[in-house]
Structure 1
Amino acid sequence: MSNPSADTTAVSRPLRRRPPLAEAVVQSLATAIVLGEHPPGTALPSAGVLCDRYEVSRTVIREATTTLAEKGLVATRQGWGTVVLDQDQWSLLDPLVLDALFQREDRLVFLDNLIEIRTTLECAMAARAAGRIDDAQAAALAAKLEELAALRDDATAYARADIEFHELIHRASQDAFGRAIVSNIQGKALRSPQYNGDPTREDIELTHRAHARVAAALLARDADAAADAMREHITSSWARRRPADAGDA
């Protein structure tokens, strides 16, 4: 009875190694598709070619193309193979797709759109948070603002605490969908130098004043003021760090 068990173990080990291989192929192909290396309407290289390119089995390639199809990037068409789909069919909020979008030459178009989405969602969440924030959350927000004040000479630490400041507001709003969407799109955007910019001490000071206005409105439980302060904070911050000569092509 020991031999069948040994055979089962031998078969299962390669299976456990396949997902990481497939994920690596998916990431590579998804990035190539989004960056336009495989234009919409064209077919991906054959399975055999992809096997040779990535040095993986046909099973891994099948797993990878299935995942790409789930992301709306490709579809299998009889007689054509695996065909790249138009951008309007892509799952744009998928982390891999977003990551690739922010690598494109026209990434500022998507970053501008992200700011619009963030503004809409975070203003609504700030207003909701003003009406729902409890004493413990209010104390945590006030403490985070004090922490931010002490970090104004450390851009990296301030940026990290900045995200935590917004997360406290998101939680207080109890808006699960808004929080998930903002976290997803911003998490990828943070990797883009255009989104982060290179803040000066003056930039951080302006940002901190905006944070203080947002916090004051929330602690006063003033929904309209919280939404207005959040809108001014997000839009003015982006206006300062968006490249002035950036084109949209």
Structure 2
Amino acid sequence: MGLCWTELLYDKSEVENPVPRPDLLSAQLAQALGRAIVAGDIAVGSSLPTEADLCRHHSASRTAVREALKMLGGKGLVSARPRLGASVRDKQHWSMLDADVLRWMRDAPVDHALLLDLAQLRLAIEPEAASAAALRRDPQALGNIAAALEAMEGDPVEALAADIAFHAELLRASGNRFFASQASMVENALSMSIPVTNAAKQVAKADVEAHRIVYFAIRNGDAAAASLHARAHILESVRLLQEGRE
């Protein structure tokens, strides 16, 4: 018989070896609750354990529990009302680009709809970033992209990390702070989607040539080609994810 989500939340070691610092305990509790919410172990619309239950199971003070719930509230995951406790908000309210939320999504079971949403977001960002990178042609940024490209020739584990790094470095190479700030989102998105799209293509690692074309367009200062090839590369992922969803 499987464990219910409340049992998943309560780590016996936490109770036996409580962390004395309330700020650390708040962060740990927020992580446990957030991961359970994003994984669907605590359903949208359902209530969280009472404040008293959370205090007891985590050997935490009310202050620590309230701070954890405040953290989750700031990420849009929960709402709290006086005398009614905290409940899980609808996904439309979640801060989807929050680093913690993205990490919890990455650790949750594969959600093709989520992967498709992230790929479509990349489609709106990366081609423009590639174009900007080609116009800028920063030597250090080009070197970082080239290093990632070279590492993609390695074994599947190294190739996966390098594939992710390639796209993150492309955003940073744009010189646009807003594009660069999305590197974490892209890294998490790709860590989830690449294994799925590689499996769909029945390959162990990424198509290096598709990435090399983007790199050379950037290095040669061809903004239009860089945008075009970056877009084509992501559209292939969108196609594979759409097929996997059907």
Compute the TM-score of the two structures, normalised by the length of structure 1. 0.76
Q: Which residue of 2 aligns with 1:11?
A: none
Equivalent position amino acid for 2:155 in 1? D
Q: 1:128 Cα shift?
A: 0.8
Q: Which residue of 1 aligns with 2:185?
A: 185
- Written as runs of structure 1 = structure 2, the 5 A alignment for 1:138-217 is 138=142, 141-142=145-146, 145=149, 147-148=150-151, 152-181=153-182, 183-192=183-192, 194-197=193-196, 199=198, 203=203, 207-217=207-217
- Written as runs of structure 1 = structure 2, the 5 A alignment for 1:98-109 is 98-104=102-108, 107-109=111-113
Using a 3 Å threshold, how does the CA distance of structure 1 residues 144 and 15 change in structure 2: closer, same or farther? Answer: closer
Q: 1:52 Cα shift?
A: 2.0
Q: Distance in 1 between matches of 2:103 and 2:148?
A: 29
Q: Distance in 2 between matches of 1:26 and 1:136?
A: 38
Q: 1:31 Cα shift?
A: 2.2
Aligned pairs, number: 228
Q: Distance in 1 between matches of 2:198 and 2:40?
A: 32
Equivalent position amino acid for 2:231 in 1? R
Partner-residue secondary structure (3-state), 2:79: strand
Q: 1:237 Cα shift?
A: 4.6
1:217–1:223 contact (8 Å) kept in structure 2:
yes
Q: Distance in 2 between matches of 1:53 and 1:20?
A: 16
Structure 2: 5+ residue stretches without partners? 1-17
Q: Which residue of 2 aligns with 1:233?
A: 233
2:116–2:242 contact (8 Å) kept in structure 1:
no
Larger radius of gyration: 1
2:141–2:173 contact (8 Å) kept in structure 1:
yes
Partner-residue secondary structure (3-state), 1:83: strand
Q: Distance in 2 between matches of 1:169 and 1:191?
A: 16
Using a 3 Å threshold, how does the CA distance of structure 1 residues 208 and 237 change in structure 2: closer, same or farther? Answer: farther
Q: 1:16 Cα shift?
A: 6.9
Q: 1:225 Cα shift?
A: 0.6
Q: Which residue of 1 aligns with 2:74?
A: 70
Partner-residue secondary structure (3-state), 1:162: helix
Partner-residue secondary structure (3-state), 1:55: coil
Q: Does 1:30 align with 2:31?
A: no
1:102–1:110 contact (8 Å) kept in structure 2:
no
Partner-residue secondary structure (3-state), 1:92: coil
Compute the TM-score of the two structures, normalised by the length of structure 2. 0.77
Kindly, what percent of the aligned residue pairs are identical? Answer: 32
Equivalent position amino acid for 2:57 in 1? R
1:207–1:237 contact (8 Å) kept in structure 2:
no
| CA RMSD, Structure 1 to Structure 2 (Å) | 3.1
Using a 3 Å threshold, how does the CA distance of structure 1 residues 66 and 110 change in structure 2: closer, same or farther? Answer: same
Q: Distance in 2 between matches of 1:136 and 1:45?
A: 50
1:73–1:85 contact (8 Å) kept in structure 2:
yes
Equivalent position amino acid for 1:73 in 2? L
Q: 1:173 Cα shift?
A: 0.9
Report Cα offsets for 1:140-189 as digits up to 9, x if no partner. Answer: 545654x24xx5251222222333333443232111112212x2223333
Q: 1:110 Cα shift?
A: 0.8
Equivalent position amino acid for 2:175 in 1? Q
